[in-house]
Amino acid sequence: MTEQPTSFERPQTGVNPADPRGALLRTPAAPEPHAGTTALPAQARGTGETPSATSVTPGAGAGPEHSQPATAETDTHRPRPAPEAIPAQPGLDQERSVHGPGGQERRSGQVTAPGRPTPMRRDGDRLRFVGAATRRIARGIDLDEIVMGLCRATVPTFSDAILVYLRDPLPVGDERPTGPVVLRLRRTDRIPEERDTENGFMPVFQPEPSELSTLTAELCEVRPGGALSEVLRGVRPVFADAPAARAALPELLGDDGEALVPNGQRAILAPLRGRRRVIGAAVFLRRPERIPFEADDLLVAAQLATHSALGIDKAVLYGREAYIADELQRTMLPETLPQPTGVRLASRYLPAAETARVGGDWYDAIPLPGSRVALVVGDVMGHSMTSAAIMGQLRTTAQTLAGLDLPPQEVLHHLDEQAQRLGTDRMATCLYAVYDPVSHRITVANAGHPPPVLLHLGGRAEVLRVPAGAPIGVGGVDFEAVELDAPAGATLLLYTDGLVESRLRDVWTGIEQLREKLAATAQLTGPDHPPPLEALCDEVLDMLGPGDRDDDIALLAARFDGIAPSDVAYWFLEPEEMAPGKARRLVRRALARWELEDLTDSVELLVSEVVTNAVRYASRPITLRLLRTDVLRCEVGDDVPQLPRLRQARATDEGGRGLYLVNRLARRWGATRLSTGKVVWFELNQG
């Protein structure tokens, strides 16, 4: 539907074009008199009265008030009232009348000073104004935009000032608010003094500063059964000089705000009613020099209040949905990344758009036994609540499978089965990698996901050759894992296709641009120093252009530091009675080599307890490993899948105190089940 120009949207004769407010409420200027038209006598102008007789050219047809020809049908359904005079306004020249063909009077518009809005005197003016105002209000998508649209649409076109009160807090949907009804002043607007220094809206007295928000009460508690409560319950707008409004306005505006209301019908109190209940009120004010409101202006105020209240209701619902979407996405993604030994991590997530806050992209970093870490990135089709829910289930499944220490290809196989159980159309891509800082190797399996990019320390960036595989949810396919070198100082970048694919470029072009971007960024820090991880993620996202955001983006960067071989001690122990003593001697020598003799007593005691427990049940050789990083970590592995549990030993028990000592002396400890048994580990601070 094409918007028709309104009376306050087109330039008019006699109006200063530099004044942004001058043409807002002015009726069209008088045209030049036609042939055969007699000008209005001078004494008739300025009186506001309609002359009783007019000289016309014989034979001229009687012209209607507006340009549309009058018909019998229109006269039947909508009789047009006879023209009425405009009351005199103090300090303003009165409107001039001219006579058109047939003796019909035509109102030409007031001769006013530039920038002085005049009231609407025609039904057509009101209809055009209401249409334009409601369109402006409807353009708002959030609460502030809708309230601002109401204020900007009415000031100065309909009123010289406006105050908008809303419930605090605003009820959402069908929820029933508890407690008393409290109205908070949400926004005020008025004709600025710099635009109308002589005749702008002013209160009866001149306060300092002259801002409406400082003259009225910010909060107003609506008393049950009070005057304000009765006006709000009535829903219909009322004039300020009505008995109900005279008692309600002081309650709403406060003691000082009552001075804002001029005498006569120059203020309207309009309740704002949403879908279920009254959610606020609006006060429209006109200055004393301006013509007061008319009865038809109550209908205009009702229309403005209705459209604004419904828009506010929808904005509150939209805000609640956006909050739920944000919370859902936030809980689906890791709140913080872990800090595993030998690797540093950084991540980013960007939604597809402001209106699509949730999506199916996710990333994860899961610590594994043996100081390893699993790096996961995945993408469920779509960016909706359903995609986010499926993503959450797949991410939880991946975390559970990672805890079982399954190979990457097995993890993808089980994820594929889980996706088929969720539905036949649940498709996703996923890349699962396991990094071992001791061996400086990484094992990668792919399920239809874009390949990772490895940035070497010297600045060379390469796209890793990983078998693509089929997406998760296809079913009946095998996944293949490859093992690659992960040198110290290198950076592995895992990402979703939203980073490299858009309407402007295909996925392989985007991957090549990503590789070039990484190489160019690495050149800035030199060949011996890798770029900072957080800054590298920001640089990668900067490659996105204005039209490249077609999908949400998940990004996970891992900087491989590794663990030097000199900081690792590894032994095999036979499950025999002499194993605890041998373990103590080996640990003592390693600590002496690392100059950590201060930890000898504590480490020997804890290692002896853990190894003794493993010997009691193990049937195959036991593994013992010490890792020296920022902490000292000890790991004891056996072939028994049952995990030890901390319990309080009774006074008569001969055992059961080993884990109690570990819990009291170690910085951290834990036990992880493996596919071949379990690993019990503990950590001690070095200093």
Q: How far is CA 39 from CA 51, 54, 97, 104, 647, in A?
A: 11, 9, 8, 12, 108
Gap between the Cα atoms of 70 and 41, Å rounded: 28
Position 193 scores a pLDDT of 54
User: Residue 258's pLDDT band (boundaries 50, 70, 90)?
Assistant: low
DSSP symbol at 176: -
221-260 burial, b at 16+ Cβ within 10 Å, e below that, comes to ebeeeebbbebbeeeebbbbeeeebbebbebbbbeebbeb
Write down the pLDDT at residue 545.
66
What is the average per-residue pLDDT within 83-106? 39
Mean of per-residue pLDDT scores for the chain: 77
What DSSP designation does 617 have?
H
Amino acid symbol at 514:
L
Q: What are phi and psi of 350, to 5 degrees?
A: -130, 125
What is residue 23's predicted lDDT score, i.e. its pLDDT?
Answer: 35
Compute the distance between CA of residue 172 and CA of residue 542 in angstroms, rounded to an integer.
38
Two domains, one topology: 123-191+208-322 and 333-560? no
Contact 112, 92 (CB under 8 A): yes
Query: What are the DSSP calls for 320-362, one per residue?
Result: HHHHHHHHHHHHHS-SS----TTEEEEEEEE-SBTTB---SEE
- For residues 183 and 200, what is the distance between their CA atoms, to the nearest angstrom? 27
- The CATH number of domain 333-560, selected from 3.60.40.10, 3.40.50.300, 3.40.50.1820, 3.40.1440.10: 3.60.40.10
Alpha-carbon span 463 to 6, nearest angstrom: 60
Q: Average of pLDDT values for 400-426?
A: 88
- The CA distance from 567 to 438, in Å, is 9
- What residue segments make up the domains of the chain, in order of their start? 123-191+208-322, 333-560, 565-685
Query: What share of the chain has pLDDT > 90, as a percent?
Result: 33
pLDDT at residue number 4: 42
Tell me which CATH code domain 123-191+208-322 carries.
3.30.450.40
Highest mean pLDDT among 70-74, 139-143, 331-335, 576-580: 576-580
At residue 54 the predicted structure's pLDDT band, cuts being 50, 70 and 90, is very low
Backbone angles phi, psi at 476, to 5 degrees: 70, 25
pTM of the model: 0.65
Sorted by sequence, the CB contacts under 8 Å of residue 541 that are 6+ apart come out as 348, 350, 499, 553, 555
Q: Which range is least confidently modeled, 170-179, 312-321, 566-575?
A: 170-179
Residue at token pair 């201060």: 598
| 283 touches 241 (CB < 8 A) | no
Of 102-116, 138-152, 335-349, the range with the lowest mean pLDDT is 102-116
Give the number of other Cβ atoms within 10 Å of residue 655's Cβ: 9
Q: Let me know: does 612 contact 618? Beta carbons within 8 Å.
A: no
The predicted pLDDT at position 109 comes to 41
**Predicted local confidence at residue 240, as pLDDT:** 85
Parallel, antiparallel or unpaired: strands 181-190 and 219-222 = antiparallel
Q: What is the DSSP string of 410-466?
A: HHHHHHHHHHHHH-TT--EEEEEEEEETTTTEEEEEEESPPPPEEE-TTS-EEE---
Over the stretch 596-648, which tens digit does the pLDDT of each residue have?
999 999 999 999 999 998 998 899 999 999 999 888 999 999 999 888 877 66
Cα 379 to Cα 352: distance, rounded to the nearest angstrom = 13
Residue 551's pLDDT band (cuts 50, 70, 90): confident
Residue 491 has pLDDT above 90, yes or no: yes
Provide, for the chain, the percentages of residues in helix, strand and coil under a 3-state DSSP scheme, each rounded to the nearest 5.
30, 20, 45
* Rounded alpha-carbon distances, angstroms, from residue 461 to 451, 452, 492: 13, 10, 10
> Tokens at residue 187, please?
């926004």
Span of 76-90, 341-355, 558-572 with lowest mean pLDDT:
76-90
Helix and strand numbers (H, E) in the chain are 14, 23
Place of tokens 């390693």: 590
Whole-number Å distance between alpha carbons of 488 and 564: 9
**C-alpha to C-alpha distances, 12 to 4, 27, 129, 568, nearest whole angstrom:** 16, 8, 16, 87
Residue 316 has pLDDT above 70, yes or no: yes
Model confidence at 564: pLDDT above 60? yes
Specify the fold of 565-685: Heat Shock Protein 90 (3.30.565)
Rounded to 5 degrees, φ, ψ at 392 are -60, -40
- From CA 34, how far away is CA 63, in angstroms rounded? 12
Q: Following DSSP, what letter does each residue of 215-265 receive, concatenated?
A: HS-SEEEE-TTSHHHHHHHH-S-EETTSHHHHHHHHHHHHHHHGGGS-SSS
pLDDT score of 366: 94
CA dist 507 and 673 (Å) reads 39
175/76: higher pLDDT? 175
**Cβ density class 675-686: b for 16+ within 10 Å, e for less:** eebbbbbbbbee
d(CA 43, CA 468): 93
Rounded to 5 degrees, what angle do the CA atoms 366, 558, 547 make? 110
- Whole-Å CA distances, 452 to 367, 380, 427, 556: 20, 18, 20, 10
Return the percentage of the chain with pLDDT > 70, whole number: 73
pLDDT score recorded for residue 373: 95
Closest CA to 451 of 440, 463, 439, 461: 463
Distance in angstroms (rounded) separating the CA atoms of residues 389 and 359: 9
